[in-house]
C-alpha cells in the first residue's frame, strides 16, 4: 500500500498548524524542520489508524445504504397472482 501523502499546500498548512499549536499551547517556537518532524511522525505513525477508521466508517455507511436499497427493492416486488388448482 502506498504511504499517505499530502499536497504541498496541505503540508504547508499542517506545518503552520503544528507551529501555531506549539506556540499557543506550549509556549514553544517550532521551526519548519521541527514542525516537519512532528508532521512526519503523525503521517507515518498516526495517519494509518485514522485512515483505517475512516474506511471502517465508510464501510458501515455503505452497508447501511445497501440494506436500505435492498428493502426498497423488496418493496417494488409485485405480488404474484394466486392460482387456483
* 3-state DSSP of 19-65: HHHHHHHHCCCCCHHHHHHHHHHHHHHHHHHHHHHHHHHHHHHHHHH
Mean pLDDT, rounded, of the chain: 92
User: Phi then psi for 36, rounded to 5 degrees?
Assistant: -60, -40
Grid cell locating 19:
507551529
**pTM, to two decimals:** 0.67
Domain ranges of the chain: 6-73
**Is the pLDDT at 85 greater than 70, yes or no?**
no
pLDDT at 36: 97
**Is the pLDDT at 1 greater than 70, yes or no?**
no
Question: Are the CB atoms for 51 and 4 separated by under 8 Å?
Answer: yes
Amino acid at each position: 500500500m502506498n504511504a499517505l501523502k499530502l499536497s504541498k499546500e496541505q503540508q504547508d498548512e499542517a506545518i503552520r498548524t503544528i507551529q501555531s499549536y506549539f506556540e499557543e499551547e506550549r509556549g514553544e517556537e517550532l521551526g519548519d524542520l521541527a514542525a516537519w518532524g512532528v508532521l512526519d511522525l503523525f503521517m507515518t505513525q498516526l495517519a494509518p489508524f485514522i485512515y483505517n477508521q475512516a474506511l471502517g466508517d465508510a464501510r458501515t455507511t455503505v452497508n447501511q445504504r445497501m440494506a436500505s436499497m435492498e428493502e426498497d427493492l423488496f418493496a417494488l416486488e409485485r405480488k404474484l397472482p394466486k392460482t387456483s388448482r
